[in-house]
Amino acid sequence: MPNPSLRELARTLGLSHTTVSEALRHSPRVSEPTRERVLSAAKAAGYHANPLAGALMSEMRRSRSGTFRGLLAILDLDGPDRRPVNAARYHRELTLGASTRAVELGFKAESFVLGQQMSMSRLNSILLSRGIHGVFLLPVSENPDLSQLDWTRFAGVYADYIIERPALHSVCSDHYRSMMMVLQKLQALGYRRPGLVLNRHHDERLLHRWEAAFQTYQNHHQAFARLTPLIVPEIVQTAFTPWFQTTKPDVVLCHRSEVITWMEQCGAAVPRTHGFCCLNEMMNVVPCAGIDLQPRLLGARGVELLIAQLHRNEYGVPEHPTTTTLPACWVDGPTLRPQSKA
């Protein structure tokens, strides 16, 4: 019998459906012999519980209104104390996009900060006790180890490129395509010597997509001079200034706007003589030209993918994890020359 209902299983065992339900949830109100009997029979009959339906009934019993808003977890593994200040806005936008879209689709997203205070086993218990089976993971500074979570009970989506323990579906910005767009814009504005400045760890986490697109575009567009990128462990003035004076770029591509001050200390006048293009507008408070990686949209799309898994009853580590990418949007700003003067 393919996936029998709970009531059919109860009739076969000669038990009430309430007893069978509680036994399957490992309720202490059911004796050990009865629980083992129910679990054994369920396995033999090919019974598979639907956690989404279970969450529905639990929520209806709690609210007594019949209105259901399933629960999702937005998981922050680093916590605000371990995250660089300039990344906080990006994570807030991701969270806002995810939680807003969850409500639109009839769910409620709750944020959980693991940080240093909560163990993975404790998190596992909290999520299951709350009836949460969908987990949306915010970007993490390092490659996280989430293998201690009972993934047979969860569906997960990660909002970044790299996650391997375990490998989950992910949603992230299309950095390669976005760099191509940036260089097309700069070429149209008349720049001919673009210089790329990256944090090495950031570059590695994205599998060198910024760098790969930058160099590929230069290889296929002879109008650009081929300047060696500055890729360093830390973007500091002592590394930037010698590179800027030696390579002489007419426009700098970087995540951090403080390099504008370093450029001006080298004699540049932004935007009159040199340009600056920010590779993530969310990381700066200074008005800049550059790109918006659309974290709010990324959060919304991630939740859509997560809820789709729940509706399909797809739990566990996917056999073939996929990556969904979204292109960035161009943002005009005062750090580049106007189009008319190109």
- The answer on pLDDT for 98 being more than 70 is yes
Q: Does residue 121 form part of some domain? A: yes
* Claim to verify: residue 187 and residue 335 sit in the same structural domain: yes
pLDDT for residue 269: 94
Q: What is the pTM of this model?
A: 0.75
Query: Are 272 and 182 in a shared domain?
Result: yes
Same domain assignment for residues 168 and 259:
no
Supply the CATH number for residue 102's domain: 3.40.50.2300
* Residue 282 in domain: yes
Residue 34 sits in which domain range? 6-49
**pLDDT > 90 fraction of the chain, expressed in percent and rounded:** 48
Pair (164, 259) in one structural domain: no
pLDDT in tens, 34-44: 888 888 887 88
- Rounded to a whole number, what is the largest CA-CA distance in the chain? 87
| Number of domains present in the structure of the chain | 3
Q: Does any domain span residue 38?
A: yes
Main-chain dihedrals φ then ψ at residue 125, nearest 5 degrees = -65, -40
The answer to whether residues 38 and 85 belong to one domain is: no
Query: Does residue 115 belong to any structural domain of this protein?
Result: yes
Same domain, 134 and 269: no
> Which residues, other chains included, contact 132 with Cβ-Cβ below 8 Å and sequence gap of 6+?
55, 71, 72, 73, 110
Cα–Cα distance, 276 to 194 (Å, whole number): 9
* Res 288: pLDDT: 93
Q: Could you give phi then psi for residue 18, rounded to 5 degrees? A: -65, -45
Is residue 113 in some structural domain? yes
259 and 237 housed in the same domain: yes
The domain that holds 21 is classified in CATH as 1.10.260
The verdict on residue 57 lying in a domain is no
pLDDT at 60 over 60: no
Is 154 part of any domain? yes
Question: Higher-confidence residue: 118 or 213?
Answer: 213
